[in-house]
Amino acid sequence: MAFKNPQTVKGVLGFSTQLADLYLQLKINGDMALLKALEILLFEAEQKSPGKVFDHDFIAKHTVGYEDFIGHLQQYNLEELADAAGLPLSQIREAAEMIKYKSRIIICWAMGITQHTNGVDTIKEITNLVLLKGSIGKPGAGLCPVRGHSNVQGNRTMLIFDKPSGKQLDKLKEVFGFEPPREHGYDVVDSIKAMHEGKLKVFFAMGGNFLSATPDTNFTAEAMRKLELTVNVSTKLNRGHLIHGEESIILPTLARSDKDIVNGELQFISCENSMGVVQKSQGVLEPISVVLLNETRIICELAKATLGDRTVVDWDKYANSYDEVRNLIEKVIPGCDDYNKRVREPGGFYLPNGPRGGKFKSEKHAEKAVFSLTNLNRRTPAEDEYMLTTIRSHDQFNTTIYGYDDRYRGIHNERRVVFMNEKDIEKAGFRTGEKVDLFSHYNGTERAARLYVVVPYDIPERNVAGYYPEMNVLVPIDSVAEKSNTPTSKLIFVKIKKHIALPGRV
């Protein structure tokens, strides 16, 4: 509801900034039920005040499937949806009242939505809601997927993708003069499985901490040890460097915050944010070593050494100037016209976005958005199970830098904790601070996270939470979101038992 900034005097004195007018504390994976309940309540309000709640002009001009969608909603019961969401129906009604006559609505989401079996369908349901309200393609309205890193979205735009389209590959061929591979590659989950099966021999990583960021930590570690070569281009050492193939190479590189000087000229990189804006980013710190190379130089030098006379690319030109790299991007990536000029403008520039012009991409319905018919996939734990979700601490930057203090939740000097509702702690016969072991069972395989500390927290009953990446050992490699193949790290069914020390362990 509010935030107290611990780094200011006002925050220390207890003054806070209001963040929300209404907070709905959902059960884990209760989002779909909440969305459907809101849509039903808004439809009921629309029937009482035709044309005032739904944007029928927008629906008629820019969408298809409205009647089928409304018919699909009729199968659901509000009371049952409220129970599935874990909320009093009165709170959902309050939320519906708040948005009933609003059209400038922005819905944000992050991994709490995507990392579920039904993650894709839940995002489709979010889209249904904004389509009903006409809340897309206009200032102050739309969909906002919040990424954990400024270049997560940018990677996809720059074709860092295992399934590029034929059109994208044709453009690469046209600009660079070589025939790119046409077969699809592997995403993260499939890459781990391919390593395990011996289909992959070389792992080359640009930054990050692959082992800690991925699901099923022990399975992933076994897979990586089967590789012949592991190469990490890294800004800092991390635990992932300790798990590698037969041969391992670590190539230190400049961090984004470092000054990147090439031939006496200070370079800058560009990032794409969650709103599709491309902006410049320039380091300000002195590098820890004068011999560190930037990532571009490392790749270009490797390409020259590996390809020799077989290459058709002038690697030196791109190693010596980021502007030259951006000139190439302009030729390949739609919306990057006049890249070097526009990225230098204050605030950067927007990439193309169909809805801003009232256009949507659809396989069957040109330039129209399609209402989706999704089903409520209610997930409930067994009598002796809990629903576990993974979370991050306040000072955590993915899996490369994170500490042992979490000011948001009052945790100090520890990360191996499990947050539980006080009633669940009492029912299970646990005590605050007691040591426990967690177990997940999936497709006949047991996974264990041992020696965790019980912490009481304001969380719905039968729901528990623990820090990422520590809890990744419990995430099954085969438990993924339908359609996207994303690991289901936000919903893992677990059993929690009092800790038993194993032989040779404390």
CA distance 477 to 93: 39
Give residue limits of the domains in the chain. Answer: 2-146, 152-352, 386-498
Quote the pTM value.
0.93
Q: What is the model's pLDDT at position 5?
A: 80
The 10s digit of each residue's pLDDT in 379-404 is 899 999 999 999 999 888 777 777 88
Query: Could you count the other beta carbons within 10 Å of the beta carbon of residue 346?
Result: 6
Q: Tokens at residue 296, please? A: 């571009």
Closest CA relative to residue 466, chosen from 400, 375, 393: 393
Evaluated on CA atoms 402, 405, 411, 413, the torsion sign reads: positive
CA distance 156 to 71: 36
Half-sphere exposure in the Cβ direction for 268 (13 Å, CA) = 12
Q: What is the model's pLDDT at position 148?
A: 64
Query: Cβ(463)–Cβ(389) under 8 Å?
Result: yes
Q: What average pLDDT does the structure give for the chain? A: 93
Q: Tokens at residue 384, please? A: 């002796």
Query: Cβ(94)–Cβ(57) under 8 Å?
Result: no
The percent of residues in the chain predicted with pLDDT above 90, rounded, is 81
Query: SS3 of 477, please?
Result: coil
Q: Which of 7-11, 99-103, 169-173 has the lowest mean pLDDT?
A: 7-11
- DSSP letter at 486? -
CA distance 390 to 239: 19
Neighbouring residues of 382: CB distance < 8 A, sequence distance ≥ 6 = 493
Residue 365 — very low, low, confident or very high, per pLDDT cuts 50/70/90?
Answer: confident
Distances (CA, A) of 83 to 34, 43, 78, 99, 104: 9, 20, 9, 21, 29
2-146 CATH choice from 3.40.228.10, 3.40.1410.10, 3.40.47.10, 3.90.580.10: 3.40.228.10
193: exposed, middle or buried (Cβ count in 10 Å: 0-12, 13-18, 19+)? middle
CA distance 116 to 121: 10
Closest CA relative to residue 463, chosen from 126, 30, 83, 32: 30
Query: SS3 of 188, please?
Result: helix
Closest CA relative to residue 30, chosen from 83, 73, 108, 107: 83
Phi, psi of 423 (to 5 degrees): -65, -40
Q: What is the model's pLDDT at position 150?
A: 63
Considering only the top CATH level, what class is 386-498? mainly beta
Are both 2-146 and 152-352 of the same fold? no
Q: Tokens at residue 83, please? A: 């129970």
CA distance 327 to 317: 11
Query: Could you count the other beta carbons within 10 Å of the beta carbon of residue 160?
Result: 12
- Tell me if the domain spanning 152-352 has CATH number 2.60.40.1250: no
